[in-house]
Structure 1
């Protein structure tokens, strides 16, 4: 680090722990990357825990004149969250909230994800007003600082118009709480000059009729270009002006540490129609006609956009038959009552009844069709990203035209794209506000391409801002990308006023310099992000960051986006070195990145695949991790094959080791056992697996379970070379429909109950009991002790061994099920998901939750319900679409079911809880508080339950235990 930053680091380390002061090559690049197409690498990343730390950081940086940039989720598209100086990130401590007046308002800290805020408000049928497409990843700090809006938000419900109170920290470290009278009075004393200047600027602006009219016109549209000058027109109280100036200021005027929003109604009834028009002119006339009607959203999609998704699965056939000039409107109408909805639909339909459409207008309330319509709309951005050339980036910009000139503006915008050869560009957007997004691909590795981009943006700026008096940034924030065009859009007087405001709040220009306002006319063409080819598995990544909120390692090492960023950089540096063009500094940097990536990128990745569910272009970063493990572990392929060939022997050895470990635990006690194993792990360089008090005892063998169960002796039958064990429990004459092939996973066959679990039976014992109680005859596949789905090998990159085990299991299950005649029940969710991906499609494979809910529960009577339980929905359950069913099963057994909102994958990841226990600990850091008041927890993966028990303070076990304990067989 440079000397000034080293001095800053030394000062900050006096009150901020060193793990939150990041300055190494790998993490500064990873943490410094946002969703924009700009690349700046910070000298120092500071993860702050509290307002006091923010204040101290601002004072320390100001003393050295070092610029500071604030970062929330980093989903911003315009370069407002990157820096080559000090980057201040939010730690996981900024997720506080308080709901007021039965949901009428809500106070949110900046680290709360927008979608989580709406989950908290859902019981009150309320939500926050802003609804950006990134709401399930974007944090409140960024939503407010960018004045993000969205599809249904319009201008009436954005942050500017729904903010009630705010806690803000200014550049000099002063904290102001606008809701607190004492704080306001103190601020009046300490910052009388600032308040007086704001009051004066407001008066002068309102007295300047021409400027005031311009401001009112600009905010009649969606507009986030420049500062929120409407605050000077809309308010006279300087505190109100200050509060509203902070909205959309992108961290250039202060740090927002809490926002209180007035919430809006979340209507339970929703209907939508996809209406197709023959041309853009008629489409835009329909928009104008619907403007005064009670619609929730009107989304415009041009023909190029419709063409981009017409071949996607489930898309309506009409998309392929539309003419070249056609366009569509997705119209959404919402209400609280049935009669209200019908009245609104009648109004909307009548408003556009005289406008020609390609097909009859039909609104639907069917959830599948409704979701399909929105899938079309939301699939437009990734549709371009998925087909772009490797090495290019996807650029999405958003402009706003006066709605009465929308058609003309759209047509001319399309002409501009054609002029510069952006034939793939497509248009869509929030038509009621005249707000259009345009998406295109762009390469920045060729000077001619940069020139083409510059010419395009110059023409777009003149068309939108000058000719049509529209907004160059309707909702994505000015950032670095549009900063050079702010004066063009606003004119000299308004632009000078913005600089006055900047100087008033940040006289040294240290807060996010060059964002919103810049003196550099070429800023938008500098520090462009390289996107070199790295691996076909991840080359389509657009670095949006949507994946990050679901990643279990997000607070420990890297997120999926950050893993991709670093792997791209490693490949770029390697290519440079191969071409003989790299410097010694780059060679040293490459060596450092490769060395650090082993732990940061590979070892601490859970490879759970949840990232794929949130990814606009469906990238599973876990696939990259497994591929890299495969390359790294090629030397162990022989050992992996030996384990696969001798799997039953290895399983029996593991069972023996658990018995020995449990005996030692009994002898020395938990405290001494922890000390001994921790020392052994340390001495071995972490090669010895981590022991915890939640470690299970050995599970008895299946044959031993059958011998001691209260039923007839198991009957052995030989079919070909496959031995099956059938449990009848005296129920002769069961039909085929009552037979089920039960595959206990290798985890449940080896790992039994834990000491503190309160239940000595293993998962297979309980499963057999439950299935027989429900009248099912249980069949086991042949050579059960040797069976494995292959996941333990797959996760370590030993693909050949994984495929071999999957093939063996496939043959055994086909034999046991009579080629799919009987269903297969597996007691471990991740294994079942692996089986669905690898095994024969004739097999009817059921995860425990799915089979119990669909087939077992109807045959049982729940005789008692628990008051309150905790539930962990595993990542595999979520990926298979069984989360709702799991919750329904739990609710059948308990009056209150707690599903911690911030826990996604638990991070145990097969054996990562033993080999990298810090991953499991980090992922479950918030679990104890989330399950406070629960005495027991349930899940559907034996290994996950070990980590959940260890880090929650309550025992977790399979949901099978709960159903078995609370149920009796239903009588005829």
Structure 2
């Protein structure tokens, strides 16, 4: 940390714990990245948890003249969430929400993820207006501060238009609640000068007819370039002006600590169509016509875009035959009922009948089919990222043109791309609003490449502003990227007005300086982010941050995006040898921050636009670090039954010790041993399970129906760990499963020598790939022989093992996870009575990746009258044995669980190790869902043996 920041640091450390003040080289670099192509490394990262802390931080910033930048999710694309000064990020404590009694409003704290806000509103058929493509990662603070819109939002449902009220903190640390009359009255007294100045600026703006007309003209389109100076002509009350100025201000005027939105209707009936045209011009003419029909969204995809996604599910075969000038529209319409939906579809088809299309117009109402269409549209950005050359970055620009001139604008953009050799560039966007995105790859590793990008930006500015009088930033925010062009787009009077607002609200220029307004004409070419090659598994990462909400270590150490940022830096330092001391420090810190606390659950791949599984990188690193363990691991693999037997003995001894010496003593003692052994010896907890009962050989009844046979592969976890010592249920999972399947009429067969068998997961997770393959090959051979080359289905009782078996064993084997098998073959063979209770359901990472989350929920609903799916819990962080060796990962991931399930009677999941941690951190007992299903079901008469 620069010594200039020491007095500020000393000041704020009096009210912010040191654990939430980050200054080390690894984590400051990790936080120096957002989704843009810029990088600035902060001197201090502050994890703030409350309004009071924000107020105190701003007062300290003013006292020491230290600039600060606010960060929500860091999914912004224009460089507005980075700084080389102090970065204030949202820690826990910002995810509160409240829905009004009539559901017409929702109040949201800035840490709520946009997609979660819509989940809260979905039961009432309402949603928030903004719908950015990043909605499942972006947080409300960023959505409001950037006035993000999206595919269906248009200009009528963005944050500016749907704002009801807000709580905001100004640069001087003062708090205003615009929904509270007392707060407003107090603010009018304390900030009378500011409010009078805002009123005067509004009067002067309205008196300037040319400027007023300019503002009206600019906001006929989507526009996030500069400040929301339309508030000066839209409102007369300075409080209204102030709160609307905050929308789209990118944290340069204040901090939004809560926003109340007017909600909008979420129509239950939807239909989508992917419509192809032979030319861009006809496509754009169709857009203009569709603007007068009941469409909710009209997304344009140019020919290059169609080519990039032509092999995606849902795309027709004739794409390759379309001419070079072809384009498509993805159209969606929505309605309150089926009759209205059909009317809307007919009206849209009638409107399109006047245009020549390359295929018949057909709307689909099937949700899965519509989801395919929208996956195609959302896959356009990553499609470029997936094919870019290593070392280049992907840039997405965001402009808006008058809809009636859209065709000419698209042709002009294509001409610019051709002239400057951006041959991979493609265009798509929210055509109904004239809002186009264009995506291209860019290298910044030479002066010529930087110059080429500079020329592109100049040509785009000339085209958008000078020729079409459009918006250079329609919805992605001005940031650093477009700050040099604000005056060019708006003109001198509007630009000076914006500076006047900045100086009145932030007189010391301490809030995110240089963002949105910047007098440096070259700022968009400075601090460009390097993207060096690091590892083939992660080189396609575009650092968008979509992965972060699903990561179990996000509040403890690093997120997947941050792991990739650091590994890129380590790899580059290794390659160049330029700074050995820095390399040594980063490598040492990464061992814990990056490798040891990565759950390697792979959920990041589910939300990554280019499907990167950062867990694979972690396993590859572990393989390098553990290369000397290979012989020992192979010996353990070959003597696996001994390992399992030893585990059961240790559990039995530990439970007996607990009875004699007490759980508290055992926990403290084992915790110390865990630290001394560097995680090799697990930490004891009261929820540690009993040893599982061994699977007993049994005589199987003779059955004539071969379709009733099932091979039951009980995982090594379920063979080792029984129920917890506090649980009244003493049966092991294999005993429950055997009873359940027999009850449903199945002949259950255990593989011979099952104690020796394992899918290889425990070894693979540690990067011991040779031992993992040894075990999976052994299991594969056994199961092929036992199933007669796959003719008999295999039941797997643990989801992580099911996934590994599906991925690694012979495809002839019919491998079913317990949830999958029960859902497909067992439920209809049992008489089930739902228990009157609240059941907490944990969907494991593997269940999600296998696409079985809905099946687990269906089974749970059959067993319990009410189920609870805890918010914000993704991977539990137990991660095989990490819950024993690094219990802080499990604790951090489940830190909100106890509150979420406080009304529940018990919990259910599909992985025994996950259930250990869930039990420990919830205060309720978690077991496999099979226990409850067995308890609440009985055999239908014809299934009885």
**The TM-score by the shorter chain falls in which range?**
over 0.9
Q: What are structure 2's unaligned runs of at least 5 residues?
A: none
CA distance in 2, matches of 1:173, 1:367: 48
CA distance in 1, matches of 2:671, 2:327: 65
Alpha-carbon displacement from aligned partner over 1:643-680 (angstroms, at most 9, x marks no partner): 00100011111111111111111112222222222233
Aligned residue in 2 for 1:743: 713
Q: Which of 834, 846, 849 is matched with 2:816 structurally? A: 846
Whether the 8 Å CA contact 2:141–2:256 is kept in 1: the answer is: yes
CA distance in 2, matches of 1:770, 1:320: 52
Q: Which of 814, 820, 828 is matched with 1:858 structurally? A: 828
Aligned residue in 2 for 1:886: 856
After the TM superposition, which residues 770-781 of structure 1 pair with which residues of structure 2 at under 5 Å, given as runs? 770-781=740-751
Whether the 8 Å CA contact 1:734–1:777 is kept in 2: the answer is: no
Deviation at 1:369, TM superposition (A): 2.2
Matched, 1:767 2:771: no
Deviation at 1:363, TM superposition (A): 1.1
SS in 2 for 1:101: coil
Alpha-carbon displacement from aligned partner over 1:610-637 (angstroms, at most 9, x marks no partner): 0000000010000000000000000110
Aligned residue in 1 for 2:638: 645
Deviates further, 781-790 or 312-321: 312-321
Matched, 1:205 2:205: yes
CA distance in 1, matches of 2:497, 2:882: 56
CA distance in 2, matches of 1:340, 1:138: 33
After the TM superposition, which residues 793-832 of structure 1 pair with which residues of structure 2 at under 5 Å, given as runs? 793-832=763-802
Matched, 1:786 2:779: no
CA distance in 2, matches of 1:293, 1:857: 46
CA distance in 1, matches of 2:36, 2:582: 24
Aligned residue in 2 for 1:129: 129
Alpha-carbon displacement from aligned partner over 1:455-504 (angstroms, at most 9, x marks no partner): 01001001101211000000000000000000000000000000000001
SS in 1 for 2:662: helix
Deviates further, 79-88 or 232-241: 232-241
Which structure 1 residue ranges, 4+ long, deviate > 4 Å from structure 2? none
After the TM superposition, which residues 689-700 of structure 1 pair with which residues of structure 2 at under 5 Å, given as runs? 689-700=682-693
- Give me the TM-score of the superposition, normalised by structure 1: 0.96
After the TM superposition, which residues 38-77 of structure 1 pair with which residues of structure 2 at under 5 Å, given as runs? 38-77=38-77
Deviates further, 959-968 or 665-674: 665-674
Alpha-carbon displacement from aligned partner over 1:2-34 (angstroms, at most 9, x marks no partner): 223122222211111111000000000102210
Q: Which of 595, 600, 616 is matched with 2:588 structurally? A: 595
Q: Which of 594, 597, 605 is matched with 1:604 structurally? A: 597
After the TM superposition, which residues 934-949 of structure 1 pair with which residues of structure 2 at under 5 Å, given as runs? 934-949=904-919
CA distance in 2, matches of 1:935, 1:37: 48
Matched, 1:924 2:894: yes
Whether the 8 Å CA contact 1:126–1:265 is kept in 2: the answer is: yes
Whether the 8 Å CA contact 2:314–2:369 is kept in 1: the answer is: no
SS in 2 for 1:155: coil
Aligned residue in 2 for 1:180: 180
SS in 2 for 1:914: helix
CA distance in 2, matches of 1:431, 1:675: 62
Whether the 8 Å CA contact 1:246–1:253 is kept in 2: the answer is: yes
Q: Which of 700, 706, 725 is matched with 1:755 structurally? A: 725
Aligned residue in 2 for 1:867: 837
Aligned residue in 2 for 1:615: 608
Q: Which of 646, 649, 660 is matched with 2:653 structurally? A: 660
Q: Which of 625, 631, 634 is matched with 1:632 structurally? A: 625
Deviation at 1:101, TM superposition (A): 2.6
CA distance in 2, matches of 1:964, 1:319: 51
CA distance in 2, matches of 1:791, 1:685: 22
SS in 2 for 1:103: coil
CA distance in 2, matches of 1:566, 1:833: 29
Whether the 8 Å CA contact 1:868–1:934 is kept in 2: the answer is: yes
CA distance in 2, matches of 1:254, 1:425: 37
Whether the 8 Å CA contact 1:780–1:816 is kept in 2: the answer is: no
How many residues are paired up?
Answer: 942
CA distance in 1, matches of 2:321, 2:864: 52
C-alpha distance 864-478 of structure 1, shift in aligned 2 (>3 A)? closer
CA distance in 1, matches of 2:591, 2:314: 41
Deviates further, 908-917 or 340-349: 340-349
SS in 2 for 1:428: strand
Alpha-carbon displacement from aligned partner over 1:798-837 (angstroms, at most 9, x marks no partner): 0010001000000111111121111100110000000000
CA distance in 1, matches of 2:898, 2:758: 33
Aligned residue in 1 for 2:534: 534
SS in 2 for 1:445: coil
Aligned residue in 1 for 2:376: 376
CA distance in 2, matches of 1:161, 1:863: 49
CA distance in 1, matches of 2:308, 2:671: 56
C-alpha distance 878-685 of structure 1, shift in aligned 2 (>3 A)? closer
SS in 2 for 1:757: coil
CA distance in 1, matches of 2:882, 2:50: 31
CA distance in 1, matches of 2:437, 2:757: 53
Whether the 8 Å CA contact 2:834–2:862 is kept in 1: the answer is: no
Aligned residue in 1 for 2:367: 367
Aligned residue in 1 for 2:3: 3
After the TM superposition, which residues 300-379 of structure 1 pair with which residues of structure 2 at under 5 Å, given as runs? 300-379=300-379
Tell me the C-alpha RMSD between the 2 structures. 1.0
Whether the 8 Å CA contact 1:4–1:64 is kept in 2: the answer is: no
Q: What are structure 1's unaligned runs of at least 5 residues?
A: 707-713, 716-726
Deviation at 1:311, TM superposition (A): 2.6
C-alpha distance 587-733 of structure 1, shift in aligned 2 (>3 A)? closer
SS in 2 for 1:394: strand
